[in-house]
Amino acid sequence: MRASSRRRGRPRAAGPRGLQSLPFESPGRESAAPSVLRVRPAPPPPSGPGGSVQGVLAFEPRELWLALHVRQLPLTAVSREREKQPIVVIDGADRQQRVLQVDAAARALGVRSGMSLAAALAVDAQIDARPRDVGLERALIERLAAMGQRFTSRVSIEPPDGVLLEVKGSLKLFGGIESLREQVQSHYAASGVRVSLALAPTTSGALAAARAGRPLVSTDLQALPGQLAPLSLRALRWPRDTLSRLAAMGVLTIGEALRLPRTGFARRFGPATLASLDRLVGRREEPRRAYIERERFYGRFEPAYEITQHDLLLAVLQPLLADLERFLQGRQRGITRLRCRFTHREVPPTCCTLSLAAPEARAARLGELLAEKLAQQVLPQAVILCELRTGPLVNRELVSGSIWSPGEHGHTPAGEMPALIEQLRARLGVDAVYGLCLVPEHRPESAWRVAEPGATRSGCLSVWSPFNRPLWLLTEPQLLQTTATGMPRYHGPLLLSDGPERIETGWWDGADVMRDYYTAVDARRARLWIFRERLPPNHWFLHGVFG
């Protein structure tokens, strides 16, 4: 007779106070009784001087993520400031044209999400129905992510309506968690976007709390499962079929899902769903793709009415210019080229381009130059869409102000000359104001080039030639008459005062020259720059006039 032995079960270890022990099975085998996620209690805090106890966290996470969630992203993306009519958003892909989201004014009238558009218009015929614009939603989320770079360099986007900020390294800079939360909230509220905030050691945990509308502040990874337990599973954005099957089992919250056996959960709902639970509570790493802003700015605005007046057009462009200023300030860069495009209904778009003499990033200055430019522009039709697009970003020299007032001790403000050039270009046109620079070429007619005012061009010399050169150069050398002795004449005989300077070059491109240059003085005491051909018939030519 064989003796039977009974294996006694081990007692479950109690977790820390306030954290319920959650059952987890080993993923590799099926067990008769579910095992337990055992949390090692934190060591007792050390005693400080004089016997006082210094409080410490049970577990300090490596990262703290602040999640931002836009609750009504489709409505926020298509809404504009100072709306008077009730607004509803419909899904353009829905043939039945059902209402997707409604604003507060439409909700007060009794319009609800899921109603047909016909039913909503039956409630109030003045309702403004707008189709959902996924492009505007993406642009809004990218703008919020760019604004978040003011608080941290680690920013990530969670499509379609979330932004994540890793803020552990920013807490001391912004005065702690509560101060940082208040500054983030006010910063986004000033831009007209209301966001829900939640802070947690894991990205999934912070996102789930923000989507549920719970202002979670969790800095302890051990306490995180208990803090997330009351939240609905819908905050995890799992597939509808998975949520329905769990609801049929009576599992509606995150805590109830965490208590399920791991092996059975993975077999029924897939390893990916189980992995999302592990990432939620920090049992598995969750790498994030960093958000990198584009290197050029693009903004568009579609006004609610057609614009025919320049002052109204400038008022519409102000929000875009403010976004551009924030875009440039975040990078400490500037622009030298800004292109505005105004779309009309029946005629080709009107383009307005600003070319700046120095890098600029101020919205007020760009608005002034656009006002000057638009004053010279004729709009063929009303404007229905405004777009701003910049050229490549350039470095902007940051200098401190001078202690001298303008004009005092010969002081000239650093930005006075570029400002004058930009003002003249805005009024007269880009082609009317330009700069000149020297290039390494001996032939006088090829030794200069048109360049942007104040800009450094490739191949341009930064210093003047050591040779004596006139300020004014003729486009084509002018043939001179000669005396009986073969000397040149120009308003009478010319007196040669300097020379000759021989220039013989250009054989490689077929435009070779062989000349002897002289400085001559005419009867009016004007100094001229003339040359004589070295080859017969040895004609004399006038090429320039000294100032």
Is 17 a residue whose pLDDT tops 50?
no
Tallying the residues shown for the chain, one arrives at: 547
The closest alpha carbon to 422, from 362, 350, 361, 373, belongs to: 373
How far does the chain reach from its first CA to its final CA, in angstroms? 127
Residue 522 has pLDDT above 50, yes or no: yes
d(CA 73, CA 162): 10
**Which pLDDT value is given to residue 41?**
38
Whole-number pLDDT of residue 403: 60
Instruction: Please state whether the peptide bond connecting residue 27 to the residue before it is cis, i.e. omega within 30 degrees of 0.
Output: no
- pLDDT, residue 472, reads 85
- Residue from 120, 83, 76 nearest 98 by CA: 120
pLDDT score, position 42? 39
- Mean pLDDT within 302-307: 87
The pTM of the full predicted model, rounded to 2 decimals, is 0.55
Higher pLDDT, 76 or 436: 76
Is pLDDT above 80 for 544?
Answer: yes
Q: What is the mean pLDDT of residues 385-410?
A: 73
What is the reported pLDDT for 400?
A: 59
All residues at 6 or more sequence positions from 398 whose CB lies less than 8 Å from its CB, including other chains? 332
Pairing of strands 513-521, 527-533: antiparallel
Please tell me whether residue 494 adopts helix, strand or coil conformation. Answer: coil
Among the ranges given (220-229, 314-323, 403-412), the one the predictor scored with the smallest mean pLDDT: 403-412
- What is the predicted pLDDT for the residue at 436? 77
Q: Which of 40-49, 127-136, 192-201, 317-326 has the lowest mean pLDDT?
A: 40-49
Which of 9-18, 200-209, 304-313 comes out lowest in average pLDDT?
9-18
pLDDT higher than 80, residue 7: no
Tokens of 251: 């599992």
Q: What is the pLDDT of residue 96?
A: 78
Residues 6+ apart with CB under 8 A from 313: 307, 342, 374, 379, 383, 386
As to burial, measured by CB atoms within 10 angstroms (0-12 exposed, 13-18 middle, 19+ buried), residue 435 is middle
Pairing, β 527-533 against β 540-545: antiparallel
DSSP 8-state secondary structure symbol assigned to residue 186: H
Give the integer Cα–Cα distance in Å for 331 and 319: 19
Residue 52 has pLDDT above 80, yes or no: no
pLDDT at 97 over 70: yes
> What residues contact residue 465 under an 8 Å CB cut-off, 6+ apart?
438, 447
Q: Regarding predicted confidence, which is higher, 322 or 35?
A: 322
Computed over its alpha carbons, how large is the radius of gyration of the chain?
37
